[in-house]
Amino acid sequence: MGVKRLTLAFILSHGACNPQWDGRRPLSGGSDQAAIEAVRAAGGDVDVSFGGWSGAKLGISCKTTAALAAAYQKVIAAYSLQAIDVDIEHTEVASAAVRKRVVAALAAVRSADPGLEISITFATSESGPEASGRSLIADAAAIGFQPTAWTVMPFDFGKPLTDMGHASIRGVEALARELAAACHTSEASAYEHIGISSMNGHTDEASEVVSVEDFETMLAFAQQNHLARFTFWSVNRDRPCSASEECSGISQLPYAFTDVIASY
């Protein structure tokens, strides 16, 4: 048992509608391509994630649905990807026009490659998707598009919480209700198109900590409800040290969170 698949992040815009790693490293010939080849040589595979919080977003830089779909497809073709993730945050998710463009472009990509796994990742509150997340779901439903996973990030809730495992589950339960209503399906079916992307240890909120035990709580829920995706940010933080972006900031065994994910 072990992790066979890693998500590498992030693809951003390098001027106009040009996808590059972090918006500054080319797709081919560099350390990113070498990392993908190394993972595959070891028997694993990779997903590639677009977007994130910082940097220039393709959804904004690519001014049409066709151009954005072509940018996604350029990356898919460069690495013969089987799965992609669009982490739609900050400036990209804030615009109604951009949200619609992202969903429409992903629908076009799915039409061109029906076997491709597509995850749309976005923030959530403890009570479920916020207005922008609900808009994404409605926009997708309006054009008949269903990604492989609607993946929520159940952290940075903005208030002190002592049980992040169950708080995360409450957010996912609310997403299932929202998705079932928008897609006219059962909640059981909705869960099969839902993912969790948590954050290990200290999050961006000073008072918020997601423990290994919280991950185990989420794992049990994911197993019970057959979720489409269970992942976290990030494996390079999955080790102990003083509070830092480069580690979890809590007392833990190295790769303790990865071990939980690997059980799914």
Share of the chain above pLDDT 90, in %: 93
Domains and CATH numbers, the chain: 5-262 (3.20.20.80)
Strand partners, 119: 85, 149
pLDDT digits (tens, 9 = 90+) for 8-32: 999 999 989 999 999 999 999 999 9
pLDDT at 144 over 90: yes
pLDDT tens for 61-89 read: 999 999 999 999 999 999 999 999 999 99
pLDDT given at position 3: 87
In the annotation, is 92 catalytic?
no
Q: Quote the DSSP letter at residue 56.
A: -
Q: Which of 89, 92, 178, 208 is catalytic?
A: 89
Q: Is the pLDDT of residue 192 over 70?
A: yes
Alpha-carbon gap, residue 205 to 248, rounded angstroms: 13
Q: How high is the pLDDT of residue 73? A: 98
Q: Tell me if 165 sits within 8 A of 218, measured CB to CB.
A: yes
CB-based contact 137:129 (threshold 8 Å): yes
> Which sign, positive or negative, has the C-alpha torsion 95, 101, 102, 107?
positive
Which H, E and C letters describe 225-245, residue by residue?
A: HCCCEEEEECHHHCCCCCCCC
Amino acid at 212: V
Q: What pLDDT score was predicted for residue 174? A: 98
pTM listed for this prediction:
0.96
Q: How many CA atoms lie within 13 A of 145 on its CB side?
A: 26
Averaged pLDDT score across all residues of the chain: 96
pLDDT score of 2 more than 90: no
